[in-house]
Chain A
């Protein structure tokens, strides 16, 4: 499975499939849409900061949806914000991924009953690839979610993808 396991001596030649090369490149540079919604955003920032250093996975926050691969929905999605999230998601280039971080974004969290203004789960407006439970999840949990996403990317096939 590894990229380098069939390397020839002294000739700088690597034999691999196009898919695994592309996927290796994609999963090692999952740029993230830079926005946070609530307390989960604090944990997301902690995951990006030096103690957890999410950048070692190639996750770099970008301030425009046109340059990103993954959207981390970190926090309570209000109905007012949901329309914006949908719009940002639509502006992302494919292939695009969504990590739903925390209970609010997964299912409404503590606002599930009396939150007249809260969308009960971001998957009601955009498709979600990975759900990270927790209120808020610790940075380790977010990184676990990210590695789950990397696993998903690794097993995809862009070359064999049918044109819809």
Chain B
């Protein structure tokens, strides 16, 4: 399916749902993207995986983005069966960055979501084991946020040059 058809399919299925926030940006310079509200991400993901026409059985990447004031999670989906792809995007306010975990749908999201939590502080609700994955457990803050300040010391070791 083309991104256009996928977007129309989603609109036909979820168009009637209030606050779904479906917003297709298919002429994006890199990847055709469909925006979804965080409240409905789980059902949209489940539909995209299980529907016979889409069959997105593979989450190739899950990334976090800091948009200054908002945080975004970007899901890049691919279908091994249908050989098509689409990008889904969810945006949440920085004060309450809570997104439903898609770990129950694509197992690979487990570590990806831990990484996004570690570096951006995005809280994935329903994640079975939301711990830091790269930084030490006693680290303060989320370093890939735009407003992150590098600490002066970490465990007695001077950090700046």
Contact B143 A117 (CB under 8 A): yes
Interface size classification for chain B: 10 to 19
Contact A79 B161 (CB under 8 A): no
Contact A79 B143 (CB under 8 A): no
Contact B135 A108 (CB under 8 A): no
**Interface residues in A, total, Cβ within 8 A:** 14
Q: Counting CB contacts under 8 A, is A82 at the interface?
A: yes
Chain B contacts with A in 114-161, Cβ cutoff 8 A: 135-136, 143, 148, 150-151, 154-155, 157-161
Assembled-state Cα–Cα distance A79/B154 (Å)? 8
Contact A120 B143 (CB under 8 A): no
Assembled-state Cα–Cα distance A2/B154 (Å)? 49
Contact B158 A80 (CB under 8 A): no
Q: Counting CB contacts under 8 A, is A87 at the interface?
A: no
Residues on the B chain within 8 Å of A108, using CB? 161
Residues on the B chain within 8 Å of A113, using CB? 161
Contact B135 A120 (CB under 8 A): no
Q: Counting CB contacts under 8 A, is A8 at the interface?
A: no
Assembled-state Cα–Cα distance A12/B148 (Å)? 71
Residues on the B chain within 8 Å of A80, using CB? 135-136
Task: Report if A120-B160 is in contact (Cβ < 8 Å); known contacts: A80-B135, A80-B136.
Answer: yes
Contact B155 A79 (CB under 8 A): yes
**What 1/0 mask marks residues of chain A from 85 to 129 whose CB sits below 8 Å from any chain B CB?**
000000000000000000000011000110011011000110000
Assembled-state Cα–Cα distance A149/B49 (Å)? 60
Assembled-state Cα–Cα distance A138/B151 (Å)? 34
Task: Report if A119-B157 is in contact (Cβ < 8 Å); known contacts: A79-B136, A80-B135, A80-B136.
Answer: yes
Chain B contacts with A in 18-45, Cβ cutoff 8 A: none
Residues on the B chain within 8 Å of A83, using CB? 155
Question: What is the chain B residue whose CB lies nearest that of A114?
Answer: B150
Assembled-state Cα–Cα distance A117/B160 (Å)? 10
Contact B157 A125 (CB under 8 A): yes
Assembled-state Cα–Cα distance A13/B17 (Å)? 97
Contact A116 B157 (CB under 8 A): no
Distance (whole angstroms) from the CB of A108 to the closest CB of chain B: 6
Contact B157 A79 (CB under 8 A): yes
Question: Which residues in A have some Cβ–Cβ distance to B below 8 Å?
Answer: 79-80, 82-83, 107-108, 112-113, 116-117, 119-120, 124-125
Having A82-B157, A108-B161, A113-B161, one finds 19 other A-B pairs with CB under 8 Å, namely A79-B136, A79-B154, A79-B159, A80-B135, A83-B155, A112-B161, A116-B143, A116-B148, A116-B151, A116-B159, A117-B135, A117-B143, A119-B157, A120-B158, A120-B160, A120-B161, A124-B157, A124-B158, A125-B157
